[in-house]
Amino acid sequence: MASKHIVKLLDGSTHHYRLRGLNENDEDIAKWTKFCASVFSYKPNPPSPSYFARHFYNDPRHDANLVRVLTYRPDNNASSQEEDSIVSSVRIFQRTISMGPRHPPIETGGIGEVCTSPDHQRRGLSKVLLQDALKIMRDSSSRVGLEAMACSSLHASPTFQPVYSKVGGYKSVVSQWSLVPIRLQYFFSSESTGNQSVFMRQ
């Protein structure tokens, strides 16, 4: 369900935004992937729209409505034929976390693809989207098609820790990683038909 948000700037100008989930069609998802790629284009190795498309479609639990966006119409005229543009995004990932052999796994909502167009930054748009995402996760047990989410998690640069702590109450923890050496052996064999079989074992 879409909702409207009005932002008034210090110069007195008023800007109207519409919060919604993506539509379950390739056209809307393609607009979102291009938007994400444009915002992250400042990176040394910027991700392409196809990167975000793969990230979405290859997720077996992807849900277009869990990609929350704010759209903007420059003239603020709801009756205008001009198309709304996506200017801010937050995505909720449905994940199952293992709690160890003595505890059952829990459902969690991951947060990602948090980005806002440079022309619309410092207007509190990410805050609006994050609070919307948190509400969806809190209400997940009563939403059709969603597993009840017991917690939420996200991975972010230390630079953004104060932001997520203030907006969503996220607590910073240090991730513990282990490197496990794995030796792989490959065996190749060619049959008389010309087909090649590849076997792999650890």
Give the DSSP per-residue string, 109-168. Answer: EEEEEEEE-GGG-SSSHHHHHHHHHHHHHHTGGGSTT-PPP-EEEE---GGGHHHHHHHH
- Residue 153 or residue 91, greater confidence: 91
pLDDT value, residue 142:
73
Say if residue 82's pLDDT is above 60. Answer: no
Nearest-angstrom CA–CA distance, 168 and 135: 10
pLDDT value, residue 179:
79
Question: Which range among 85-89, 119-123, 192-196 shows the weakest confidence by mean pLDDT?
Answer: 192-196
Q: What is the pTM of this model?
A: 0.78
**Mean pLDDT over residues 156-161, rounded?**
78
Q: How many CB atoms lie within 10 A of CB 56?
A: 19
**pLDDT tens per residue, range 107-148:** 989 899 999 999 999 999 999 999 999 999 888 877 766 778
pLDDT value, residue 83:
64
Is there a contact between 128 and 19 (Cβ–Cβ < 8 Å)? yes
**Residue where the block lists tokens 């805050």:** 127
pLDDT value, residue 200:
41
Nearest-angstrom CA–CA distance, 42 and 140: 35
pLDDT value, residue 75:
66
- pLDDT tier at 55 (50, 70, 90 boundaries)? very high
Q: Which two tokens stand for residue 29?
A: 């998802």
**pLDDT tens per residue, range 12-52:** 888 999 999 999 999 999 999 999 999 999 999 999 999 99
CA angle 20, 23, 24 (to 5 degrees): 145
Is there a contact between 106 and 128 (Cβ–Cβ < 8 Å)? no
Quote the mean pLDDT of the chain. Answer: 83
- Residue 36 or residue 155, greater confidence: 36
- State the DSSP code for 31: H
> What's the residue count for the chain?
202
The SS3 assignment for 33 reads helix
